[in-house]
Structure 1
């Protein structure tokens, strides 16, 4: 009888121990997980604050945040205040150079009937109106993909402007309305927390020689326009000055990338503008207009590019004048009505936009 009681007692003890065992493993799992997380967090902080690479990563992050609607997060990169202010200064007050040489008449005082036409060398063979180049660049710590569109006839390039009051147009809507062959986004617009509807552009807007918007509600914007002679001009010009210079279409954004062959980012820190999806417009010496769109914010596809990357990319391809357009989730390129870049917008058709640069099917006289 006694042996039976001891056996039953040992059996109950084993069952209780078995019941406790899963709980013990759960406790151990959480303890080990907490220790691992704490260790990784400590090593991460040590890397970010104790190494040169970590400091550079925080500078990249701050520059990227300062060029978005979430710039209020930039102080949480914990950069020294003087370094943060230096980044802000480079973004809010970029270097601006007027592309019209000083030797030409002053548009403020002289009557100007339009700039001299761009010398156009006689091509050896007929050129295609539009050519597309695929872009892939690896910088080691990041990489980016995109497209460059070359337009051989600058007179085919026009600014399209939305006629809606409640919102802007999607790029494919612009293209459908006008039969545009190629199209990219242009001006920036008020965009609180990414919910802006793109009805009104920031800065100057000129369409077919008419001033649609002459005020500049956002400081630091720089004009980019194309004249009736097909020449791209950029600088700190008013709408009235641009019209007097013979500009047909114009809009505003920033920063300038290349002016009169000078790369304005050649000696500037890349971190100041961060890494983002980018759009830029430029012109080569022979008059070819260049649209460039770089995808971003898509780790498996393309991280994005710095302003230095954009200036270098265009300079390598012979561009002598170029300026950045609105970037981020607005950056997108369509060819024959189809998207050929990958937007970072949650909506696959991109953002509502106030205007866009487009290649028209027929040259406007």
Structure 2
């Protein structure tokens, strides 16, 4: 006989407690690590979504173009290549300069009628020469606040320059030094890396009918904003020779001229050269000069496009208008007080030119660049 197989002993299942002891325990992550991980994932998703919106949607593209146009007006223009590429940035810059040149070619047929001095009573001149108007509103890209300075007699305005060699001067200091009633920043200047000393202008500077500064030959046409000996505002592209023949009295270089014959040249906000603090100058049919001084890059005022400045001027009867230096240079001084809020964290900038209004404009303004070889000026040296 074959031996009977021995039945195996029944196997008992391990208890749950035994299994728990044998199973490897998962380490719990520290709460800070969990929070950090979730935050990183959320940030990654949001960044991806923003990138898609920013670069691949019409709204994002429009916003990028606004940012690029705004950068073009600053010393950080090269940053625009990170938004639209270097080729597109150059294309946009070239397009603006071409447009500015086209604006300057429109013939002027409407000119102001300047009241003769004999037609204005002295006490009336003193009372009404200057008026500061507060303006605010909602532009295409946000809220803005600023001022419009009305100067009733254009012949009361002079271009004033710094009192010391090798350094620009704050507008408030120019006003105090000369006894002016009010002052507004003027033309462009060399400003390396936004740290320039404000001493070297760009283009041409004229005061009292004399050329104080010129960085081109007398036949080269430059963008000019100024007032002739009769009080008529002149803006456009002119050579120094032409300005002398036209009896130009006060002038600086900047652009563009954007109102001609009472018509705006800028057709919409998208062509308004970005959003920034702005200073601009205009004249009405009765000869009144208007300066717009609009704050920007701040919580109370984002700034404006040139199109919005154009609308402010047209609403007040401007027949001609042109842009002046803006950004951190934008400042309005009246009665020795800074009226607006300059966008620079350091306050006013040191500038080479300013428009100043006087009770008596027959003052002597020294040509600070006389006898200086302008090729030796170092605009970055303090």
Q: Same fold (TM over 0.5)?
A: yes
1:61 to 2:67 alignment: yes
Is residue 2:45 matched to residue 1:39?
Answer: yes
Contact 2:68 2:80 in 1 (8 A): yes
The DSSP-based 3-state class of the residue aligned with 2:30 is helix
Q: Give me the TM-score of the superposition, normalised by structure 1.
A: 0.83
CA contact (8 A) 2:277 2:304 kept: yes
Q: Aligned partners of 1:290, 1:186: CA distance in 2, in Å?
A: 13
Report SS of the residue matched to 1:253. coil
Describe the shift of the 1:344–1:275 C-alpha distance in structure 2 as closer, same or farther (beyond 3 A): same
- Aligned residue for 2:104, secondary structure, equals coil
Where has structure 1 moved over 6 Å in runs of 4 or more?
A: 121-125
Query: Residue 351 of structure 1 aligns to a residue in which SS?
Result: coil
Structure 2 residue runs of 5 or longer lacking an equivalent are 1-24, 364-382
The structural deviation recorded for 1:86 is: 4.0
3-state SS of the aligned residue for 2:253? strand
CA offsets, 1:106-163, max 9 Å, x none?
xxxxxxxxxx983539789946111111111103531211100001111111111123
CA distance 1:189–1:79, change in 2 (3 Å): same
Q: String of CA shifts for 1:24-77, please: whole Å, max 9, x gaps.
A: 101101111101101110121122123221111000011111121111111111
CA deviations 1:290-334 (Å, max 9, x no partner) are 111110111x21111111111111111111111111111011111
Match of 1:113 in 2: none
Q: Which stretch of structure 1 is more off in the superposition, 73-82 or 120-129?
A: 120-129
- The equivalences for 1:1-365 within 5 A come to 24-78=30-84, 81-82=87-88, 84-93=89-98, 94=100, 95-97=102-104, 101=108, 118-120=113-115, 126=124, 128-139=128-139, 141-216=141-216, 221-265=222-266, 267=267, 270-271=270-271, 273-298=273-298, 300-348=299-347, 350-364=348-362
Q: What is the CA–CA distance in structure 2 between the aligned matches of 1:261 and 1:130, rounded to whole Å? A: 23
CA contact (8 A) 1:98 1:234 kept: no
**Partner residue, 2:6:** none
In structure 2, the residue matched to 1:106 is none
What is the Cα deviation at residue 240 of structure 1? 2.2
Matched-pair contact (CA < 8 Å) for 2:139–2:304: no
Name the CA distance, whole Å, in 2 between partners of 1:75 and 1:277: 22
> What is the root-mean-square deviation in Å for CA atoms of aligned residues?
2.8
- Give the drift of 1:246: 1.4
Q: Structure 2: how far apart are the matches of 1:130 and 1:225?
A: 19
**Counterparts of 2:39 and 2:294, CA distance in 1:** 40
Distance 1:254 1:139, change over 3 A: same
* Count of aligned pairs between the two proteins: 330
Give TM-score, length-normalised by structure 2: 0.79
Once residues 58 and 50 of structure 1 are traced to their aligned partners in structure 2, the CA distance between those partners, rounded to angstroms, is 11
The answer to whether the 8 A contact 2:159-2:355 is kept is yes
Cα distance between partner residues in 1 of 2:86 and 2:142: 25
Cα deviation, residue 239, structure 1: 1.8
For 2:319 and 2:261, the matched residues in 1 are separated by 5
Provide closer, same or farther for how the CA distance between residues 26 and 65 of structure 1 changes in structure 2, counting only shifts above 3 A: same
Tell me which structure has the larger Cα radius of gyration.
2
Distance 2:140 2:206 in 1: 41
Task: Find the aligned partners of 2:354 and 2:86 in 1 and give their Cα distance.
Answer: 39
Tell me how far 1:361 sits from its aligned partner.
Answer: 2.2
- C-alpha separation in 2, matches of 1:43 and 1:318: 46
**How far off its partner does 1:98 sit?**
5.7
Equivalent residue of 1:211, what SS?
strand
